[in-house]
Amino acid sequence: AWDSTLSVFELPSRRLVATMAIGLAAGTTDRLPDLAVDFSRGRAFVSCPEFAKCAVVDFHNGRALDPFELPGVTGGDTGGGPNQVEVAVSESAGRLLVYCGALRRLTAYDITGSTPRLIADSQTPPPSGSERHAWKVLFVDAARDRAFVGPDLFDVRTGRSLGTRIGRGQKVF
């Protein structure tokens, strides 16, 4: 996903199959989008921090759906480069998780209907010790219905903190 389009390639040949509009204007900053794909429902979600929105593309029908606002995210060129707004999908739970590291904010959306519906908006714990300078990474463990934001665990279905974190010295990758 880049500059208002989503390119779809066939693998392993890397042949370009389609280029689809995402429903937002071409970007002009270094605030790179992130991409999450829900193969079960045929949708791609593109976080576009420059516009403070998440684009939704129906890749089965090759068309953009209505983008939605990202709560609290400031649009425009605010610097910071990539990974400002991360997205991840849990297909089995029918959830899209959106994480904004600068805000320490995790939002969860129900994506089982025709339009993503906000179900939770949570603050994540402040980084401590060596985590202060580490990139926060959003990772979904769909088999266990949980998500990691750095070392902190969240319930994928509710978007709420589980109140636990992985052990000291352990990392998620």
- pLDDT per residue over 19-53, tens digit each? 998 988 887 666 778 899 999 999 999 998 888 99
For residue 15, pLDDT beyond 90: yes
CA–CA distance, 86 with 47 (Å, rounded to integer): 7
CA–CA distance, 157 with 28 (Å, rounded to integer): 35
On average, the pLDDT of the chain sits at: 86
CA–CA distance, 59 with 20 (Å, rounded to integer): 8
The mean pLDDT of 78-95, rounded to a whole number, is 84
pLDDT at residue 128, as a whole number = 60
pLDDT at residue 151, as a whole number = 84
pLDDT at residue 129, as a whole number = 55
Which residues 6+ apart lie within 8 Å of 37 measured at CB?
43, 44, 45, 59, 89
- DSSP code per residue over 42-70: TEEEEEEGGGTEEEEEETTTTEEEEEEE-
User: Which phi and psi (to 5°) does residue 40 adopt?
Assistant: -60, -40
For residue 87, pLDDT beyond 60: yes
